[in-house]
Structures are given as structure tokens and as C-alpha cells.
Structure 1
């Protein structure tokens, strides 16, 4: 899909925007679905434009829409989610890589280095991946409490693991001793 949607920066007009309207066919949807580990993918569209930002930078702005089907994290049953999100990327000619080893990119930073091409198809797949629910859950699905311990011993519960759970019983025992 990448080769079909790439826009050569040198061919883009400075004074007007270049629109794109991507609606992958069934074959392309199957590849994206497989790459993202989805059970299903329908109605994928990415519509927007690329325009000059100043003299040397470029901006891609669009709207991503898709219906995705993922396995529920609790029951593994299919969960359908509709995604409709705005997508923006700013391609900077004077991009500099951070020197620090553990540099953290600020949340919401949409800037990237400007290359020879801008690929709305690649941005579409990346944006879809980022917009997917991390823990899709079927309505009403809840994790049951699982108790694991040696035979004959009392299993530790979630309540036992709370840091101050034992202090109340200790306080009560000390009050009895007084």
C-alpha cells in the first residue's frame, strides 16, 4: 500500500494543499488486519490533505475512520469498536534527533523528520494502530478472582495484598492488650 500512496515532497505545490482519500480494498484491509492482529477490520478510511507549513516544512492533516474487531481481554469473544480520530503530522526540514539516551517524546508530539516522501497510507496504518483500544472488553465481562496456593493453606486475596490491610487487625490487637 505504501508505494501507491507516497507523495514526493519535491512534486508537492507550495501554494495549495494536496488532498488524499484512502479507502483500502479487501486485499489491503486483510494485510492491515493481519499486521495489527485484529479479528476484523471494516470501513477503513483516511481523508485529508498535505500542505506547506512555512517555506520548508509540511503538514498532513486528516480524519481516520474504521470499525475494528478485537478479542475481549477477559473472554476472548469479539469486541467491535468504532474509531473516528483526527490525525496530524508535521514534517520538519530541520529535524534533529535528541542526543540524550533516554529522551522522552512529549505526549501529543506529532512532528517527524521530513524525508523525500510523505506517505498518507503509512500514517493511516500507524494512526489506526495507536487508536486501537489496548484492553478491549465485552460489555459486562469481568475478571473472576483466582486463588492459587498450596493445598491446606489459606489463599492470599486482593484485600490481603493492600498495604494497610493488616494494620487494622494489629491496631485492634494492641487495644485489647491495653
Structure 2
């Protein structure tokens, strides 16, 4: 019995795309792909991942991708490490440009004004764009609403605890200024 590959195609050669007809796509990764992405992004869980949109020609040589990313992610809280569930719904837009301006060969590279512009290669990988968009949409510091840092004081016996104001760099300058003003 022949086995058929039911995995949707996610990598398209530019030469395969019709400049006159947009390519619609609806990516909903299978469980194995979701697990691979979850591990790659160090998530506790990844559910309901979808990437739906259209890829169409823009001018003679460029291609535009307009899509919608949807996902439910579970990350550890930055305070308590308890699971934090976040629903992501993001619009994604990329412009793949054939004649991308060359960047100078130096250590410093200026950021382009439009961050959605990318160089056009021989292929466009929709799964890679989906994973990049998911990575960028993840909360940097997921935190449960009720999570709070505990305040603890560690001082040797007989010593005064240090106050928060005393640890700030300008707190000492304010005290010095007041002392100098009194001495005048």
C-alpha cells in the first residue's frame, strides 16, 4: 500500500509561483511539528498554532506576504515560574525584495526603516516565517497577575538593614548635596 505525504507544502520556489495568481495558504502544523517548535522556543506548551494568509507578486520581481498568526502559548512566569497562558493573534507582513540594498561591510549596520522588508531568495519558507513571527510575538517577560517578588532582608546580627533608597546611585549624591549646603 502506497503511503501519501499529507504534510502541506511550506517551501515554495519563486519560479513555481504565478505572478498573476496569489497563493493562499493555511498552515496548521501537526503535533510533531508543534512539539519541535515548542522545544525550539523553550515553551511549556504550544496550542492552536495557525498561520493563514496570501503570498502575491509585488511589482515585477518582489513578493508580498500578508498573513494572520494565531497561537496559544504557555510560558513560565518570570517571578514565580508558574505557567502563564497567552493568546496571540498577530498580523504578519513581509516584503521579499529582489534588489535589496547592499549593507556596508562593517561592524555597524543601520536598521532599515521598514523591518518587514527581507531579501528575496530562491525560495520562500512559510513555516520559517511563521516561527519567526511567533518568536517575535511572544511576551518577553510573561507574568501572572498575582505574582509578586517577596521582600527579604539579609543583615548580620546587630547591623541596620539597607533601605532601597540607599542602593540607588543618586541617593548618595542627594545626601552629599544636602551636607554641602549645610556646611556653607
Q: Give your verdict on TM over 0.5.
A: yes
User: Which residue of structure 2 aligns with residue 93 of structure 1?
Assistant: 98
Q: Match of 2:3?
A: none
Q: Distance in 2 between matches of 1:152 and 1:9?
A: 74
Q: Distance in 1 between matches of 2:69 and 2:21?
A: 22
Contact 1:59–1:91 (Cα < 8 Å) also in 2? yes
Q: Deviation per CA, 1:102-146: give whole Å up to 9, x if none.
A: 113246511111111111111001110111001100112122345
1:92–1:114 contact (8 Å) kept in structure 2: yes
Task: Tell me: CA distance 1:65–1:3, structure 2 relative to 1, closer, same or farther (3 Å).
Answer: closer
Q: State how 1:153-168 maps to structure 2 within 5 Å.
A: 153-168=159-174
Pairing 1:42-61 to 2, within 5 Å after superposition: 42-61=47-66
Counterpart CA distance in 1 for 2:59 and 2:158 is 73
Question: How far apart in 2 are the matches of 1:17 and 1:144?
Answer: 55
TM-score by length of 1: 0.87
> Unpaired segments of 5 or more residues in structure 2?
1-6
Q: Give structure 1 stretches of 5+ with no counterpart.
A: none
Conserved in 1, the CA contact under 8 Å of 2:8 and 2:27? Answer: no
Further displaced range: 64-73 or 94-103: 94-103
- Superposed CA offset, 1:18-60 (max 9, x none): 0010011111111110110000000100000110010001111
Instruction: Find the aligned partners of 2:99 and 2:183 in 1 and give their Cα distance.
Output: 73
Rounded Cα–Cα distance in structure 1 between residues aligned with 2:8 and 2:150: 47
Is contact 1:50–1:61 with CA below 8 Å preserved after alignment? yes
